[in-house]
Chains A and B, each alone.
Chain A
Amino acid sequence: MAQNFSRYFFKRLLYVLITIYFILTFNFFLFRVMPADVEDILIPKGADEATKEALREYYGLDRSYLEQYVDYLGGFLHGELGKSISVRVGAEVTEVLAVYVPNTLLLVGFGTILAVFVGVVLGRETAWRRGKLADRIGSSFFIVFYCMPTFLFALVMLMLVTHYFPSWPARGTFSDDYYDLDLFGKIIDRIQYMLLPMFALVIETIAAFSIVTRSSLIDVLTEDYMVTAVAKGLRGRQVLRAHAMPNAMLPVVTTVAINVGWVLSGSIMIEIIFSYQGLGYLTWDAVWGQDYPVMQAVFMLETVAVLFANFIADMMLFKLDPRVKV
């Protein structure tokens, strides 16, 4: 088992690394194949001749594609992703990212944990009461929220909150006097600002997790061994906890992993709407300022995040489900 696991682990890891390599290559060629000229993309238009020359030197644009490619890959390993054009003029892209990434991590991380917890509980309770009134009401709510486009939901929410609760901090990341607060105050402040975007972000995910948990649990509940467990004299809730849930969780793990990509995409929209300074907000800034290097880095980072989420899900499935083979 242990040996199997490490074999599986390294095989999947290799796959992830190969995919990252392909994405790097794809990114490199994307910028050189597209109709726009590389120079126009990587060098700000209004820059003076000296800056332009320095940037040309930096990216090695006068050398052959092969040399540029090798340089680009090497630069990536050293954390050099290019220089920002407009978001922070001339700064290393990694420095720019360092400011925005923690905010998104907070939002998406806590959002996902909350969504898994609430979604699984709701799914479990509706499946347990399947066919009853609570289930029918719950399930229709799941479907409505699942179909609702996230960013429209967020727009309407923002509009209502700014109108009816004008004093609530609806937009931004933290208040102006954030740095003067003590730790506890900082946490409270953060929570206040994060509440709305997180609610808008998780509502769809909660619905998705509830639907998956519910349908997978209903599948399990109709299995023969559930009847056996009841016949053995176990009470209903015990059966649910000890026999049904562990088996029903397998599809949920996969869904959570797949959803990381969705949540990241969703957070782009949400962060823009609530002016929350995360990767999504950075995307908006980069689009407006035509900051290609920053946009490219954001794209890279999000793809890698999704790949690793899938990787972790694979590992968890291997541990949870003995049927998965190397």
Chain B
Amino acid sequence: MTSPLASLLSAERKEKLKLLIRDGRIFWSKYKHNRTGIAGLGILVFFVSMAFLAPLIGQYDELYPPNSLEWARVNPTLSAPSADHLFGTDLYGRDIFTLTMYGARASLIVGLMASAISIILGTGVGVAAGYLGKSWDELLMRVTDFFLVIPWLPLMIVFAMLMGKSFTNVIIVIGITSWPWTARIVRSQVLSVKEKAFVVRARCIGAGSFTIVRKHIMPNVLPLVFASTILLIANAIFSESFLEFLGLGGDMISWGNMLEAAYDGHAFESYAWWWILPPGLFIIVLIMAFYLVGEATDEILNPKLRRR
């Protein structure tokens, strides 16, 4: 029985894949009993499908204000929610329901990309500091502490201003300012794993540093990293919404952008609650969902760290 797919996999790879699937099954069997975790996951699935289906569900395509009298006549501006416009319209006559749908994309993309950057940086610095030790450790941890002590929001704003306003830059800025915590966590874990017998033995039989890090240290560090990733994503989404609210983002539609437009468009004075609540509530709910999933994952992957 050699299907073309199976022949691509060596015996060793196949074994690994099997183990991975088994681990996944065990994880899921524990996870599905965690009620808050399931609730969080449900909300996440909802948001992800919202982001994918935005062009289909969204009632209206015209997302940017075309600035023409024609447009203003056809589309009511600042109208309260109705059957035509589920969440009402904004000052420019845009349909808020459609905007909110598209906004989910920005949040999810930033959340994933920014935390990927910060995980890579953080894990790299953490492993290097923990594994190389001595003066490297001292140097890298001083740098990490330095970044930890700087208040995060002003630092992000300074970076974002210098790099110019764009959606990509928002992702990069959040990524390069949020790695220090990951580095700290990874370093302490590497320090404790490094002294374990199996690592010492691996070194005795002549394994190189790269192999030891890849095969013995990383598998013990990754579960911790994974649990903190989810919280990183939540923080990244929050940071993004604020940077966009400050006007440091690009043209991509996001909830932060919508809030900025609402603020500048005096939605408060005219009590246009339908312009503020959808993006505001969606940010909170999405962040909460990530926290719930993060807590549940943390409990399963790192049972020793479970809080009271």
Q: Does A162 contact B247, Cβ atoms closer than 8 Å?
A: no
Most chain B CB within 10 A, of A215, A264, A287, is at: A287
| In the complex, B238 has a CB within 8 A of chain A | yes
Q: Considering the complex, which residues of chain A in the window 88-121 have a beta carbon less than 8 Å from any beta carbon of chain B?
A: none
Q: Does A269 contact B161, Cβ atoms closer than 8 Å?
A: no
Identify whether the interface residues of A are mostly helix, strand, loop, or mixed. Answer: helix
* Chain A residues closer than 8 Å to B269, beta-carbon distance: 162
Q: Does B162 contact A283, Cβ atoms closer than 8 Å?
A: no
Encode contact with A along B265-277: 1 for CB under 8 Å, 0 otherwise.
0011101010011
Q: Does B153 contact A268, Cβ atoms closer than 8 Å?
A: yes
| In the complex, B150 has a CB within 8 A of chain A | yes
Q: Does B280 contact A152, Cβ atoms closer than 8 Å?
A: yes
Please choose the segment from B70-78, B97-105, B218-226, B284-292 that sits at the chain A interface, where 4 or more of its residues have CB less than 8 A away.
Answer: B284-292
**What's the A-B contact tally at a CB cutoff of 8 Å?**
103
Pick the contact of A299 from B155, B164, B287 — CB < 8 Å? B155
| In the complex, B57 has a CB within 8 A of chain A | no
Q: How far is the CA of A215 from the CA of B259 in the complex (A)?
A: 36
Pick the contact of B246 from A36, A41, A287, A310 — CB < 8 Å? A287
* Chain B residues closer than 8 Å to A158, beta-carbon distance: 268
Q: Does A149 contact B162, Cβ atoms closer than 8 Å?
A: no
Q: Considering the complex, which residues of chain B in the window 150-167 have a beta carbon less than 8 Å from any beta carbon of chain A?
A: 150-155, 157-159, 161-164
* Chain B residues closer than 8 Å to A306, beta-carbon distance: 149-151
In the complex, how many angstroms separate the beta carbon of A263 from the nearest chain B beta carbon? Answer: 9
In the complex, how many angstroms separate the beta carbon of B152 from the nearest chain A beta carbon? Answer: 6
Looking across the interface, which residue of chain A has its beta carbon closest to that of B288? A147
Q: How far is the CA of A257 from the CA of B188 in the complex (A)?
A: 24
* Chain B residues closer than 8 Å to A265, beta-carbon distance: 151-154
Known: A162-B271, A288-B247. A156 touches B154 (CB 8 A): no
* Chain B residues closer than 8 Å to A156, beta-carbon distance: 276-277, 280
Q: Considering the complex, which residues of chain B in the window 179-224 have a beta carbon less than 8 Å from any beta carbon of chain A?
A: none
Q: How far is the CA of A310 from the CA of B164 in the complex (A)?
A: 32
Q: Considering the complex, which residues of chain A in the window 9-63 have a beta carbon less than 8 Å from any beta carbon of chain B?
A: 19, 22-23, 26, 30-31, 34-36, 41
* Chain B residues closer than 8 Å to A272, beta-carbon distance: 246
Chain B interface residue bracket vs A: 35 or more
Q: How far is the CA of A299 from the CA of B245 in the complex (A)?
A: 19
Q: Does A295 contact B151, Cβ atoms closer than 8 Å?
A: no
Q: Does A310 contact B149, Cβ atoms closer than 8 Å?
A: yes
* Chain A residues closer than 8 Å to B267, beta-carbon distance: 159
Encode contact with B along A226-264: 1 for CB under 8 Å, 0 otherwise.
000000000000000000000000000000000001101
Q: Does A23 contact B150, Cβ atoms closer than 8 Å?
A: yes
Most chain B CB within 10 A, of A147, A284, A295, A299, is at: A299
Q: Does B151 contact A264, Cβ atoms closer than 8 Å?
A: yes
| In the complex, A290 has a CB within 8 A of chain B | yes
Encode contact with A along B237-249: 1 for CB under 8 Å, 0 otherwise.
0100110011110
Most chain A CB within 10 A, of B151, B247, B288, is at: B151
* Chain A residues closer than 8 Å to B54, beta-carbon distance: none
Looking across the interface, which residue of chain B has its beta carbon closest to that of A151? B242
Known: A149-B283, A158-B268. A36 touches B151 (CB 8 A): no
Q: Does A30 contact B158, Cβ atoms closer than 8 Å?
A: yes
| In the complex, A181 has a CB within 8 A of chain B | no
Q: Considering the complex, which residues of chain A in the window 130-168 have a beta carbon less than 8 Å from any beta carbon of chain B?
A: 147-149, 151-152, 155-156, 158-159, 162-163
Q: How far is the CA of A290 from the CA of B154 in the complex (A)?
A: 14
Q: Does A292 contact B287, Cβ atoms closer than 8 Å?
A: no
Q: Does A159 contact B271, Cβ atoms closer than 8 Å?
A: yes
Pick the contact of A35 from B153, B163, B242, B287 — CB < 8 Å? B163
Q: Does B149 contact A19, Cβ atoms closer than 8 Å?
A: yes
* Chain B residues closer than 8 Å to A36, beta-carbon distance: 162-164
In the complex, how many angstroms separate the beta carbon of B287 from the nearest chain A beta carbon? Answer: 7
Q: How far is the CA of A163 from the CA of B288 in the complex (A)?
A: 28
* Chain B residues closer than 8 Å to A41, beta-carbon distance: 162
Q: How far is the CA of A265 from the CA of B153 in the complex (A)?
A: 6
* Chain B residues closer than 8 Å to A30, beta-carbon distance: 158-159, 162
Q: Does B161 contact A287, Cβ atoms closer than 8 Å?
A: yes
| In the complex, A200 has a CB within 8 A of chain B | no
Q: How far is the CA of A162 from the CA of B89 in the complex (A)?
A: 21
Known: A162-B268, A306-B149. A269 touches B158 (CB 8 A): no
Pick the contact of A149 from B154, B161, B248, B284 — CB < 8 Å? B284
Pick the contact of B162 from A31, A163, A268, A273 — CB < 8 Å? A31
Q: Does B151 contact A303, Cβ atoms closer than 8 Å?
A: yes
A-B contacts, 12 listed (Cβ < 8 Å) = A23-B150, A36-B164, A149-B241, A159-B273, A159-B276, A268-B154, A269-B242, A287-B247, A290-B161, A299-B157, A303-B154, A306-B151
Instruction: Using A295-B157, A303-B154 as known contacts, list a sample of 8 further A-B pairs with CB atoms less than 8 Å apart, ordered by residue number in A.
Output: A34-B163, A41-B162, A151-B242, A156-B276, A163-B271, A295-B161, A299-B158, A310-B149
9 closest A-B pairs (Cβ-Cβ)? Answer: A265-B153, A261-B151, A34-B162, A299-B154, A163-B271, A152-B280, A159-B268, A299-B158, A302-B154
